[in-house]
Structure 1
Amino acid sequence: MKLALIPARGGSKRLPRKNIADFLGKPIIAHTIAAAQNCGIFDHVVVSSDDDEIIDVAAKFGAEIIARPKDLGSDSARVTDVCLHAMQFFDDRSEAVTELCCLYATAPLRTGDDIAAVHGLLGVEGCGFAMAVSTYPLPPHQALRATPAGTLEPMWPDLVSKRESDLPTLLVDNGSTYSVNATAFKEHRTFYGPGLRGHVMPQSRSIDINTREDLVVATAVASSR
C-alpha cells in the first residue's frame, strides 16, 4: 500500500498555527492535501496531528486522520517517529505500507508533479530513499562561520577562492517531500538512507513557510504566476 503522510502538529512557535494559516484563501495544509490527492499515486492521504482544529480542517479538505499521541506532538518529537507510528497504524489493520511519502504542509507551492517525480525515483533500481532538493541561492563554498572572538572565517578555506564552475554541484533538502521504501525506512529510520536520489525543484516552488516573512514571500511568488 502506498501512503502519503502529512505531519501537522499544533505547537509551532515561529509562526503560530502555521499549518492552517491562510494561504491564497485556503488553509496552508489544504494545498498539500490536494496535491497529494491529485497525484493519483496513493492509496491513502493521511494527516497525522495532535491538534483538534488541524484535524477538523484536514478532514474538511478530504484527508484521512491519524490522531497521534501527545508525545509525538512535542518540540522534541522526530518526524521519522511520526512516520513509523502511521505505518504501524496501518500494519495493525492488516494493510501493510510498502511505500511512504512524507509531505510537509508548509510547502504549498510544491506541485503534484513534484510529488510524483520524487516518488517515481523509488522505481530506480537500488533506490529506497528519495527527496525533493533545490540548489543553494548563494555559493555554499563561500560560507562563513562566526568565531568566539566575534570575527568571521571561511567554513572551507581551501574552497572559498575557487570558481563555482570548478566545484561539484551542491544541492540541499528543501524540506517539502520525502519518499521511502517502507522496509528500508524501518531499518534505517532516516530519510537520508543508502541509494538516496533527489528531484530538483526551483527556488520558486521550494519555499518552506516557517515565519511570517516566509508567508509573505510565498504569497507574492504565488500571486505573480
Structure 2
Amino acid sequence: MVVTNIAFIPARGGSKRLPRKNILPFLGKPIIGHTVLAALQTQLFDRVVVSTEDTEIAAVVSQWDVEVDQRSHALAGDSVSVVEVCLDFLDRTYKNRLPDTMVVLYATAPLRRAEDIQSVMNLLDEDCHFAMAVSVCHWPVHQVLKNHGDHVVPVFPELIHSKRSQWDRYYLDNGSTYAVHVDAFQREKTFYGHRLKIHEMPRARSIDIDTVEDFEWARYQAERMLL
C-alpha cells in the first residue's frame, strides 16, 4: 500500500509533572482517546500511529483502529524532542518511498477537534511545507523579562514603552497540531520550517495538558463548552 498521509501521535509513559497524563480519564475516555478519535474522524490518513515505549498506553489505544509503533526507551527520556522521535520513526519505517505528509498530534491536547486537524493540513501546498495550530498571544510580549546575572532585563528593550495600539499581532504555538511535508521535514528537522503557516484556534481549546492545573482548566473549559 502506498502511504500518503500519516497521523503520528507521540505518547511516552514517563511524564513527571502529571504522571500517566496520556491515559488519565478525561470526559469519559483516556486523554489520548480524544486525539485518536479526532484523527480518525477526519478520514484523512492512511495510517494513524501511536508512538510509545509504554505497554499500558499501547494496550489502551488498542481499542481503536490505530497502529502502535514501539518506540525505543532511549527515545522516551525527558531530554528527547518530539522531532527526534518523528525522524527516528520515518528512518526506521520508510526505506524506499516516503509518505507525502505527516501530521503530528499531541495526545495531551484533548480539546483540539477534527476540523482543526483538517484546517492545519489544508494549509500545506507546493509553497508551504510546514503548518501548525496556534492561539493568539493576549499578554504583552514586549514586556517580557529575562534573567541577567542577579537581576532581570527586558527581552525587547526597544519596545518596552510602546503603546497597545502599536503592538503587532503575536501567536503562540498551542502544543496540539503540526503538519509537514515529510521531505522538507527530514531536510530541516523542525516544525518551524520555511514559510510556516498557521491555523488559529480559540484560546479555550488551546490547552496542552502538562500539569494538574492544566488538567483542571481543560476540564472546566470542556464542561463549559458542553463537549
Q: What TM-score, normalized by structure 1, do the two folds share?
A: 0.93
Asked if residue 189 in structure 1 is aligned to residue 189 in structure 2, the reply is yes
Query: What does residue 14 of structure 2 align with?
Result: 11
Query: What does residue 48 of structure 1 align with?
Result: 51
Q: C-alpha distance in 2, partners of 1:95/1:13?
A: 37
Task: Give the superposition deviation at 1:74.
Answer: 1.4
Structure 1 runs of 4+ aligned residues shifted over 4 Å read: none
Query: What does residue 69 of structure 1 align with?
Result: 72
Asked if residue 117 in structure 1 is aligned to residue 119 in structure 2, the reply is yes
Asked if residue 26 in structure 1 is aligned to residue 29 in structure 2, the reply is yes
Task: Give the superposition deviation at 1:155.
Answer: 2.2
Q: Which runs of 5+ in 1 are unaligned?
A: none
1:107 counterpart letter in structure 2: A
Q: Which runs of 5+ in 2 are unaligned?
A: none
2:106 counterpart letter in structure 1: Y
* Aligned counterpart in structure 2 of residue 59 of structure 1, from 57, 62, 72: 62
Query: What does residue 153 of structure 1 align with?
Result: 153
* Aligned counterpart in structure 2 of residue 99 of structure 1, from 98, 101, 125: 101
Contact 1:90 1:97 in 2 (8 A): no
Task: Give the superposition deviation at 1:89.
Answer: 4.2
Task: Give the superposition deviation at 1:76.
Answer: 1.8
Matches within 5 A, 1:163-182: 163-182=163-182
Percent identity among equivalent residues?
46
Task: Give the superposition deviation at 1:25.
Answer: 1.6
Q: C-alpha distance in 1, partners of 2:89/2:203?
A: 30
1:219 counterpart letter in structure 2: R
Contact 2:12 2:76 in 1 (8 A): yes
For this pair of structures, how many residues does the alignment match?
Answer: 222
Q: C-alpha distance in 1, partners of 2:166/2:22?
A: 41
Q: C-alpha distance in 2, partners of 1:72/1:152?
A: 35
Asked if residue 80 in structure 1 is aligned to residue 61 in structure 2, the reply is no
Contact 2:98 2:182 in 1 (8 A): no
Task: Give the superposition deviation at 1:95.
Answer: 6.2
Task: Give the superposition deviation at 1:195.
Answer: 1.2
Q: C-alpha distance in 1, partners of 2:187/2:49?
A: 23
Q: What TM-score, normalized by structure 2, do the two folds share?
A: 0.93
1:109 counterpart letter in structure 2: L
Q: C-alpha distance in 2, partners of 1:75/1:127?
A: 31
